[in-house]
Structure 1
Amino acid sequence: MAKIKFLLQSKSENAQIYIRVSISQFVSLKKKTGFTINPKDWSTTTDRPKQNNPENKNTHTNLNKLETFIFDQLNKDLANGTLIDSYWLETQINDCFGRVIKTDTGLLINHIQHIIDNANTRKVKTNGGFKIGLSASTIKNYTLFKNIVSEYQTTIKKQIQFIEITKPFVDKFTNWLINTKKYSTNYSGKQLEILKTVCIDADKNEIPVTPYSKTIEHFRESDNERFIQTLSFEELEQIKNADFTDVEKLKEFKKENPELTKNISITPETLNNARNWILIGCEIGQRGGDLLNITEKNIRNKGKSIYLDLIQQKTNKNITISINAPHVIDIIENHFPKKTQHQKLNNFIKIVCKLTGIDTLVKGTKLNTKTNRKELGMFPKYDLMASHCFRRSFATNYYKKIPTAILITITGHSKESLFLTYINKREDKDSNADLYRHFYEDLHKNKQPQLKVIKNGTND
């Protein structure tokens, strides 16, 4: 059985009180409790302060509290197979008294929390200047990053100081993200990007940081490693023309696909609703969250034209889209889809695509639910489809058919290079020149050549 003992190791007036936790004959841990006392006021009989004044009584109470807390945590963590070491003991002492030193701005995790706590008043740079407040997705990214840093601190058994974020530290952190946690290249690179952002922000707040921390290089998958999934115009036509009215056929489909249709109501109504979201999504080029927030209030009629106005959640950009496809106009005017949960829509997209025969084997990444990591392989195309494919489908389908400058005003990309990376394309200068010629010819095709009389300077 574990034993806990409090002791002094100094005879100075403000001697540190230590705690020693003996787990077995061979494992004994010792750490400072954070409390001090004059050795004259220490009882070697009880291993506690003498209760001869209010301060000592308070310390006595706190040590009893700590003893109970550590016994409780020790029993839980031993049962769970948690590593019990000096770092564990230090963590328990701090947790018992809530000693996350929030005033210690030199700690990486404290500044991440500072950013989260002040998210609603932080300035964010935009194309038009600045806006106030971080988006919900950005706050989520910082929160997830904080959790990752907390886990890494447990692994290395120390809290990370800004002045420790050097190249060797970042190399070890990167190795842990990719090789130990098995995070994808993009996700690991994103964590390094956030780390760099936090370090730069700390420097702006006059917190000492290493010069290297402001130049951390992040990364993403190369073009050869990226496999994006889109729905072509032909596949969208299949979806548009699919018949979901045969109820018996839908019941049979549900029986044959228990995993795909688990906890999902497969009816003509639910499938038509999902189909309408798919067809709208692939024509307006917006993220899934923005798509599902659209209501009839976002629709604006101007003469014979129909416009969709929205503000993108991620970028806070005001976007206006002209609705031109007749079948989408019909959906918006007569069959506006009901709002649905994002994850439910993702499930329905796979079902709709399978029912319409979009099942060719394609290379891509799919989440392994057992490891909670994406794995590369060959899968039926419907299995890789989700709402993020709508935006890519729009961008891919209309690329080279409509000037890229117009497309990026709809997708919200800030630069053409980002747009091309998004659809995994390289800039094709010849194609751009051909597109210019096409528009030039259209502009001048109805102009009649004009004869011009040129004087030759004689009277003949």
Structure 2
Amino acid sequence: MIFFYFLSQKAVAFNNPIYLSIALHHKISYRLKLPFTIALKDWDPEKQRPVNIYSKKHKELNILLNRIKIHLAEYLQDKPGISSKEISEEIKKICSEKTTAYPEGSFLFMMSSYLEAKKESLCLSTYRRYVVFLRMMEKFEGFIGRNIITEEVDSTLIRQFYTFGKMEEYTESTLNRTAEFIKTILNFAERQGIITQVRQLEIPKLKTVRRILVLDEKEIVKIRKTAVPTELKRAKDWLLISCYTGQRISDFMRFNTGQLIKIDHKPCISFIQQKTGKEIILPLHPEVLKIMKKYGGTFPQAIEKAVYNVQIKEVALLAGINEPVKMRKRKGFRGKETCAEKWENISSHIGRRSFASNFYGKIPTPLLMQATGHSTEQMFLNYINPIHHSRIVSLAEYFDRLYNERAGS
């Protein structure tokens, strides 16, 4: 059974109806006009769908096109004498459905059941990420043209998913995270008494190049010593505070004197992390205390996140943080690798990464994890810049010293 979406050869600039061709076998085929229209420039004839399936305008259309294909593939089984009119009526019925009902026993049904079961216990950002994985699997079903049954998820299907992901230009890290989530769902299904192939599942080992943007200690000193206009002073101070506390903007931007405590005469701040719900007691770095002294023993006034992200770029530019770096940046609806000056890529999370990277190896990792709130060392290590220039320089200095010692002997 072959499905093919297309526009008429006489298509005009706007309001072109979308057609569906269905070939059951060499003797039976159908050509149906669907109840959708689209501009010629918005249609991708090769992928048989809207060019931008993430725009608000065409997202729902693409979901419907996938749903029609999957539903008809099952509906037309063992219906050799069905008429075009009957198929059109079935398509109208599909389009009239207000909500998506996943077939019981399907993998998407199991995913949605898991999300419903975990909705209250997951933090909002994690829940939203899992919903993204579910939407990706919906697109994958559209790609293969059928519903996936939970018991049939095996290594072959996973390889097919990776093929689909590469065609769609998803990053390898996104594919890896989604594959791990698939394993999570299969384990959830087993707890429901469903036998799965999770123990035999082979996840492709893709090498991902981690590019983590951090400010090293020399750059932080440059920022501290840089004079900035009055309107940027608070952003500069918050950036320094974030580099010496290692917290997310949702936490450090809420710091206040009511959270200050002393333990053995050492000034600390006690707070609950908004994302994790963990209680953190953090000793305040001397540089943080210096900044607070400027504000009469308190913290700078909070800055709205969008404004802060713009202003810290300006601060970094003034400080001469202009080393060329390669990073993935969103262009259209996909991340693309670009090369730009470092200050252009700075955002609110750089302080947390810089804290982890700069103190790693100097302070015991369990103490750093206690400060950042990471549950596992693996999660913490994701924040460490694998290319640490100061360590590379130190290694080079060791080489030079050992060589000179040998040469002099």
Question: TM-score, with normalisation over the residues of structure 1?
Answer: 0.61
Instruction: Give structure 2 stretches of 5+ with no counterpart.
Output: 1-17, 25-31, 50-64, 73-90, 388-409
Aligned to 1:274: 235
SS in 1 for 2:37: helix
Q: Please list, as runs of the form range in 1=range in 2, the aligned pairs for 1:87-102 lying within 5 A after superposition.
A: 87=69, 90=72, 93-98=93-98, 100-101=100-101
Aligned to 1:194: 181
Is 1:384 matched up with 2:372? Answer: no
**Whole-angstrom CA distance in 2 between matches of 1:366 and 1:242:** 28
RMSD of aligned residue pairs (Cα, Å): 3.3
**Which whole-Å deviations, capped at 9, do the CAs of 1:28-69 have from their partners, x for residues lacking one?**
689xxxxxxxxxxxxxxxxxxxxxxxxxxxxxxxxxxxxxxx
Tell me if the contact between 2:186 and 2:198 (Cα under 8 Å) persists in the aligned partners.
no
Relative contact order (C-alpha < 8 Å, sep 6+): which is higher?
2
Amino acid at match of 2:137: V
**Whole-angstrom CA distance in 1 between matches of 2:70 and 2:376:** 48
Instruction: Give structure 1 stretches of 5+ with no counterpart.
Output: 1-22, 31-69, 122-132, 246-267, 427-460
Aligned to 2:282: 321
**Whole-angstrom CA distance in 1 between matches of 2:313 and 2:207:** 25
Aligned to 1:429: none
Tell me if the contact between 1:29 and 1:89 (Cα under 8 Å) persists in the aligned partners.
no
Identify the match of residue 244 of structure 1 among 225, 228, 235: 228
CA shift, 1:195, in A, is: 1.2
Amino acid at match of 1:227: R
Change (3 A) 1:237 1:111: same
Tell me if the contact between 2:251 and 2:274 (Cα under 8 Å) persists in the aligned partners.
yes
SS in 2 for 1:387: coil
CA shift, 1:88, in A, is: 6.9
Change (3 A) 1:374 1:297: farther
Aligned to 2:217: 233
**Which whole-Å deviations, capped at 9, do the CAs of 1:224-274 have from their partners, x for residues lacking one?**
x222221122221222222223xxxxxxxxxxxxxxxxxxxxxx23x1221
Q: Please list, as runs of the form range in 1=range in 2, the aligned pairs for 1:214-363 lying within 5 A after superposition.
A: 215-217=201-203, 221-222=207-208, 225-245=209-229, 268-269=230-231, 271-301=232-262, 304-331=265-292, 334=296, 336-362=299-325
**Which whole-Å deviations, capped at 9, do the CAs of 1:322-356 have from their partners, x for residues lacking one?**
00324445337536233334343223222210111
Change (3 A) 1:278 1:291: same
Tell me if the contact between 2:241 and 2:288 (Cα under 8 Å) persists in the aligned partners.
no
Change (3 A) 1:342 1:208: farther
**Whole-angstrom CA distance in 1 between matches of 2:202 and 2:251:** 32
CA shift, 1:320, in A, is: 1.2
Tell me if the contact between 1:193 and 1:216 (Cα under 8 Å) persists in the aligned partners.
no
Tell me if the contact between 1:166 and 1:212 (Cα under 8 Å) persists in the aligned partners.
no
Question: TM-score, with normalisation over the residues of structure 2?
Answer: 0.68
CA shift, 1:140, in A, is: 0.7
SS in 1 for 2:235: helix
Is 1:139 matched up with 2:127? Answer: yes
Q: Please list, as runs of the form range in 1=range in 2, the aligned pairs for 1:42-191 lying within 5 A after superposition.
A: 74-76=35-37, 81=43, 87=69, 90=72, 93-98=93-98, 100-101=100-101, 104-121=103-120, 133-177=121-165, 179-191=166-178
| Identity over aligned pairs, percent | 24
CA shift, 1:421, in A, is: 4.7
Whose Rg is larger? Answer: 1
